[in-house]
Amino acid sequence: MTATVTEKTETKTVSKSLKIGIPKEIYPNERRVAATPDTASKLQKLGFTVLVETKAGENADFDDRLYEEVGCKIVKSREQLWQEADIILKVRPPQPEEVNLLTPGKTLIGFIYPSQHPELLQQLKEKQVTVLAMDTIPRISRAQKMDALSSMANIAGYRAVIEAANHFGRFFTGQITAAGKIPPAKVLVIGAGVAGLAAIATAKGLGAIVRAFDTRKVVKEEVESLGAEFLELDFPEDGSGEGGYAKPMSEEFLRAEMALFAQQAKEVDIIITTALIPGKPAPRLITEEMVRSMRPGSVIVDLAAEQGGNCEVTKPGEIYQYHGVTIIGLTDLPSRMASQASQLYGTNLWHLLKDMGGNDNFHIDMEDEVIRGALVVHQGEITFPPPKIPQQTPTQQSKTKETPIHPTTPQKKGNNTVFWMILAGLALLAVGLTAPESFMSHLTIFVLSIFLGWQVIWNVTPALHTPLMSVTNAISGIIIIGGMLQLSQQSLSPTTILGAIAVFVGTINISGGFLVTQRMLQMFRK
């Protein structure tokens, strides 16, 4: 690929259709593919020509015929694909034989893990290629559609529970049968990131009693919203780090944390660990002694196995028994759901290429924090790590948003309130002295209704305003009945006109309340 498609200032000279190459993954047991027929079709709509190595999607249940049906070109040899393609899309980091196939000017996009593979970065630098790592895309709101780490973690968390259920010798849900009572399984999820939350939701959906722990206190509400119990330590320290990841904790916190895990290991049936700190080996959270204390038949699923494991006795890539406890150290959980994983990953890549300008305006925008964050090698230079983006801490943000309060404001507001209350009292007194008795009875009911409505609405938490519509609908129903009684009069008078208006407005309120409530309820349906 020529420089005219890698520099922002020269993108207007692009006239040809850039070729995207989708090679077959050669990493052992890797079943995923970087583009499915669906995402390949989307890439073609961006103006790219898509080349697919023969049988690239076979392990993910995507036959060559499916790619040909959407207009992709099937390439018979790996060498030909890497030679013809301008942009290579991969899942796993390139293996040595794949690095040798790269030529200067090409663009490689995939998982690279630059912190763990500095020697690979050096090899890619010498090849004079442009490399974007899907694992270094910053975790900001705008980049969520390109966050491949979260996509794969979601699948890994789900699959972890499925693997645990496959090796656990009992039901997840509790049952009462003629043969006796079956208690529900107890599941502990350590780490409430994307993978942890997916595991919590899946285990809870299967009927288990789920507990979760995370050093980041901000995830407590997310855990509890899924129906799990959030385990807390009586400790002021918080583990929230940059980019939504956890940070290393103090020795005192770690001791208290390990004591909690030791206690839970004796009580639970299944432990799922997901704790990772970017750029560092996986922290050891489950010791050999804890494993020995677990009941026979228990299961541990270590999602951090590829980075060394959170469990002291995990063997990466293996499933084995340790003193009656099944240790699952699989490193290919997303790959075990290859079809779904490939679709999500391919969609992440499509969003990235779309943001990079598509075929007509493809470029490396160094001013774009997402592209700059993903860029690890460019123009013969290693560009990892990217420069840090200054971010405000929560304390600084709250200080920025604070509005100065003047001491005289409350007193002035109080004086105005007293003035209007006195004025309203005098007006009511004047009406009471001059108006007929029937009017006063209606006015009394009207004033009490206003007071009741004010108490009902304004003393309720704003989060409950939508459920409160059922109450306001009931009040509107009373208004409609009163209006209809006034409409029963034979003569046309101001009273009947007001009654008609009351019926009309009350009907609008009830109809709108039901529509909004129904729409809100649909948001929570699965």
**Active site positions, annotated:** 139, 144, 147, 150, 245
Three-class HEC string of 204-231: HHCCCEEEEECCCHHHHHHHHHCCCEEE
Instruction: Find where tokens 């020995």 sit.
Output: 292
- Identify which of 293, 302, 333 has the alpha carbon closest to the alpha carbon of residue 320: 302
Give the distance, in angstroms, between the CA of residue 429 and the centroid of all CA atoms in the same chain. Answer: 60
Give the strand pairing for 107-110 and 186-190. unpaired
Instruction: Locate the DSSP E strands across 157-256.
Output: 175-177, 180-182, 186-190, 209-213, 229-231
Report the run of H or E that residue 504 belongs to, with start and end: helix 494-523
CB atoms within 10 A of CB 62: 23
Buried b vs exposed e over 199-217: b needs ≥16 C-beta within 10 Å? bbbbbbbbebbbbbbbbbb
Kindly state the tokens that stand for 45.
């709509």
The rounded distance, in Å, linking the Cα atoms of 456 and 436 is 31
Amino acid 22 reads I
Instruction: Find where tokens 């595991």 sit.
Output: 199
Kindly state the tokens that stand for 452.
């009741």
Dihedrals phi, psi of 90, to nearest 5 degrees: -130, 165
Kindly state the tokens that stand for 353.
């290429």
Distance set, CA 419 to CA 168, 414, 432 (Å): 72, 9, 20
CB 212 within 8 A of CB 231: yes
Instruction: Find where tokens 């040595």 sit.
Output: 96
CB 67 within 8 A of CB 37: yes
The rounded distance, in Å, linking the Cα atoms of 156 and 315 is 17
Residues 6+ apart with CB under 8 A from 427: none
The rounded distance, in Å, linking the Cα atoms of 146 and 464 is 34
Give the strand pairing for 381-382 and 375-378. antiparallel
The rounded distance, in Å, linking the Cα atoms of 205 and 219 is 19
In the sheet with 186-190, reading across from the earlier edge strand, the strands are 229-231, 209-213, 186-190, 270-273, 299-302, 325-328, 319-322
Residue 18 DSSP label: P
Show the DSSP H helices in 435-493 as ranges.
437-458, 469-487
